[in-house]
Structure 1
């Protein structure tokens, strides 16, 4: 029995070795294939790249490198694709332009020959987008009635339209809207058009223009005169950006910035304003080829190479807190309703203490310890705790020299009241504006 096991293991090992070698051979890149890829790139660039003169320079550059043998030592096709991308971008400065090694995707696409194949391919594409909820990662109403949308892509309206409509209607009752594009790498201009339409009145607004080299044509995008549901045309909008915000996400930001419809907060964006698509070069390589360029109707230019500069520059990981604070402060300033001001002040205090913690010495905390009717405040190992009757005991942390938040409970806070430098009462503060008070027992 042991002999058979040994033979079986040996056969398995040989098969694995053979498979590994076969895969290695399949991955190996030849000089002839390099030539084919570069010839194909030259044809694609000269036929369709948005700037013909730049296309010629790029083609000449990689052909010259091939002739000099710069690519001769590259046997890994992934490395070859990466090197070509670097070399092409070195000439064009175009971050959209890239070469990829994608034999599986090419094979799948080339095998799609019948209507049934096309439907199956399309369904796989739609299902993959559904699993990401078409880029609508998170949607919520934050304290203070601030709407928040974490949008990771501007997906195809044909499939993602209903999700976008639902999201924008969900946000329509907000007092301010934050649209988070910090992790958004781009997508469809039509989705930009749809979402933007909810941020303006029904009178169409000119968003952007595009020049397309293949057809030597120009197109325009405007907001839609009709949308499903409720618009948020008067609601303040804040857009969060990062260095990773790219392409269509940049267009959305650039459009709203120049239309003075949103406040941009975060980092300067990636700098890609040339739309296009993927072309097959050979049976193993593809190129993402920019065939058009954006031309903003207000600036008559775009953000290519420069990115979109936000109104308020902060590190990307701080952008949400800054936008949230700015939204609440703006709403407080505009409101004459004291109840609404209190509503906005509640989360604002939490943001401020999060970014600038208040620290009190233990000697200052001692004066708060005591019994206040059914409420008890204790000082344990230098930390204050609050408990009502036999309920949950909460750790307290200060947001002023006499006001405290409860760790793990966002809807209630306490304020200590003093007379003649002596704490005499504890006041309960609730997020709905209600207050109550208990006098100190000891």
Structure 2
């Protein structure tokens, strides 16, 4: 099968490419990139006025399988990813049972081949059962294809175990991904500790809890000379700590989420449980610091932390609702609306954080457009106006803080290995 993507604005961050041109796809791979590729025998996609990018990569997704399929599974989660323009996603290990052995990694990899519509990478657990007491089968999981190791879902309290885990994963060149919040300070908090929490009478999770945990985790990585990735950074202090660590040469990378980049704790005045997330939505000064961190390279990626829950779980009093919400299908629209159309980030900067940046962190051969590479491509209309409707989501999670919001910008086509799997919002597989 031949496809010709014709006349689009090609943004390829890996090569600092931003040109108008064509991309020819043959047999699932990119055959040519240029100003006038041959069209004989090819199905033509007219991309005039559209943006053609490497397939987007989300390095932080909760697919809930195995064990929590009422919230999400590989079939529904990968279709949500396709609808959101993502061609590769990496799933976190906080499932039941946890992804803490090579058998589970291999099983999910095989399931992804039969049930998934985008490429699925597996993140293995750092500790057995995510209990924080004993290292999991890290080496075996990496040999079976795990791209990173994490106990995400909560902060690993054991300094000794994290140090040992970093030393071990460092031998494989794989990052440990940390949820960095000091639970001694943040435990039982429901939102950012500040003026809004005081008015609402809700116990807060202070920003310093994140700062302290990020500092500790980075210091351990520096001591072990091992790569570490800080997930869903949300505080001004954490951004500065990461910035200073990078200047010292520490092997640290970090991500921010669309919601932490565009929403503040002011949203929680409604007590809408869709806004409940950990780490919490913070005040405007923290949001500004995150955006600055993206611009200067302190933060390397934008990741959704897609965390769907069953409807009845979130449909309760705010303090009792679980944290998290569906994020795959709104990510591009939210980021373009809140960061690109407001002039806070350029389009190449955003595409880099959504593709090449996360792929590089996980050591993937994706996030790039080059001849001979798999044809994983996303085509985006930056001017497309639409309103978020959770009921129409492919994910099973029907809660979103962006429900009913008007967004500007949306993926129109998702291509995986040369096959169109999403077109105009409809997943075709």
Which structure's residues are more often helix, by fraction?
1
**TM-score (ref. length: structure 2):** 0.27
- Pair member with larger Rg: 1
Q: Which has the higher contact order (CA 8 A, sep 6+)?
A: 2
